[in-house]
Structure 1
Amino acid sequence: MTTPDPTDAVSIDGDMIRLGQFLKFSGLLDSGGNAKEVVIDGYVTVNGEVERRRGRQLHDGDVVGFEGRTVRVRS
């Protein structure tokens, strides 16, 4: 079974971005202040797995999900 590609890709500067930063940068969240709560509460996935560390480093190709929307990280 194949996983469908995310509908959005967001380009970042550099090789890495932290999950909390990416949630706001990508538009998945309106405020960076909300990132801590939604991540800790288990509402965010990275590559299909629940991620509870907002400091998680994301790299090219990682897929972040929140509230039914998925976004792929692009360097």
Structure 2
Amino acid sequence: MARVEGLGNYPSAQELAAKFAQKATNGSNGAADLLGQLRDELIRKADLFRQAAKDYVATDEQIGEDLQRGSQA
């Protein structure tokens, strides 16, 4: 991402490529870092949804057991 190619050999093209490369790697505001932060957040969200699914299954099973006990009494 930090290497921009294909803009040609003219000085203006080289300057433009350098600016795009700088934007990609410009610390915490660079595209590469922001995409990394997005990836990390999506991983956290996926973990949250997986845990919620487990909790829903456990709750559903518990309610099912409670209903079974209630109907047998």
TM-score by length of 2: 0.20
The structure whose RCO (Cα within 8 Å, separation 6+) is larger is 1
Question: Which of the two has greater helix per residue?
Answer: 2
Question: Which of the two has greater strand per residue?
Answer: 1
TM-score by length of 1: 0.20
Flag the structure with larger Rg.
Answer: 2
